[in-house]
A and B are shown apart, each in its own frame.
Chain A
């Protein structure tokens, strides 16, 4: 059993005199968002420092996990745009959450617009199709890799667009 007295008080100490509110839920503050972004940024740096071929999956998993729980709260777009603003970046028109988080946590010199778009499409496909209990890297590899997953999303969206639009619009 862990001996509390023997451990540094940092771990269990929360100021007893700090005013605690009567709220039962935990609001997601800007400071919490900053901490989340810092963790994703750390994952980016680790992926860049690693020599392993699959190191990028660690970073993509961090991006995915963050946007996944935001999506479960139906706040992904607002929070992703807020994340950009916290980094003094302006959201692009229609910039979706994965692309926004990749833009504000990776290095623009290493991740160009095309790569960002490809990763973002692969993550969106993963969000649509991955079972909750399967690790991201396993799922993406099973589906043929990042490029294939990105292409699969494009095909899916294209098909849906085709179903919704008259033939004349599809050609434009």
Chain B
């Protein structure tokens, strides 16, 4: 079954996939994405829910979204200081 994700989570899962793929050449992209999702879910950054069609999908958790917003604000502040 395909891993359906919202845009935010897809972006970060793809980034994590790029980071680990060289160390796991024997595994497929699907297997590595499953590994990343598992890590994200266990640390509370990704969660599953039903979409408007009643299918199970993945999305970034509220905590992850708020951490991203904080990091973005910090980056903007750093840029202003620079």
Contacts and interface: CB of A to CB of B under 8 A. Distances in A.
Interface residues of A, dominant DSSP: loop
Contact of B56 (A4, A11, A16, A69): A69
Contact-size category for B: 35 or more
Interface residues of A, number: 38
A20 B16 contact: no
Interface stretch (A26-34, A109-117, A144-152, A156-164): A26-34
B23 interface: yes
Given A39-B62, A65-B50, A132-B52, A13 B31 contact: no
Contacts of A12: 12, 15-16, 19
B20 A20 contact: yes
A68 B50 contact: yes
A72 B50 CA distance: 8
Interface of A: 2-4, 6-8, 10-18, 20-27, 29, 31-32, 35-36, 38-39, 42, 65, 68-69, 72-73, 132-133
